């Protein structure tokens, strides 16, 4: 049939699986995981460079960022182990949570 269309075929093989609550939860977990990972990637970089966040949680990094001396490396303004640990802990928590989520998605 030219132009295409939906044709009901009686001799085609049908998938025998059903949409169960387990399948729905698995799809929901996978979708939320992707959403949270993208959200985390987008927000983490922006939040850790915001001045109010740095003033409240990392005042040493804020002072270092505001100290604009000529001999300082302008590329590495956020050179702090604690800030790096904070950022990395978010991804480490996602890694550990993915191991526990594997039983749900199995």
H or E stretch including 53? helix 51-57
Is residue 86 pLDDT above 80, yes or no?
yes
pLDDT at 49: 80
- DSSP codes, 4-52: ------SSSPPP-----HHHHHHHHHHHHHHHHHHHHHHHHHHHTT-HH
pLDDT (tens digit, 9 = 90+) per residue, 1-24? 455 555 555 566 676 778 889 989
Block residue for tokens 């399948």: 23
Give the HSE-up count for residue 70: Cα atoms under 13 Å, Cβ half-sphere.
0
Q: Where are the domains of the chain?
A: 19-49, 51-105
Q: Give the span between the Cα atoms of 62 and 53, in whole angstroms.
A: 9
Block residue for tokens 């949270």: 36
| Mutual angle of helices 81-105 and 21-47, in 10-degree steps | 170
Whole-prediction pTM value? 0.47
pLDDT (tens digit, 9 = 90+) per residue, 12-70? 667 677 888 998 999 999 898 888 877 877 777 778 888 898 899 989 888 887 876 54
- What phi, psi does 53 have (nearest 5°)? -65, -45
């Amino acid at each position: 049939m030219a132009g295409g269309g939906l044709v009901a075929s009686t001799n085609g093989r049908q998938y025998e699986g059903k949409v169960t609550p387990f399948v729905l939860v698995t799809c929901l977990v996978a979708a939320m995981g992707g959403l949270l990972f993208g959200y985390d990637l987008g927000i983490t970089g922006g939040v850790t460079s915001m001045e109010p966040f740095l003033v409240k949680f990392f005042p040493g990094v804020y002072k270092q960022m505001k100290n604009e001396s000529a001999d300082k490396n302008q590329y590495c303004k956020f050179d702090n182990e604690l800030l790096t640990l904070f950022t990395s802990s978010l991804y480490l928590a996602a890694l550990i949570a993915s191991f526990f989520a594997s039983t749900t998605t199995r």
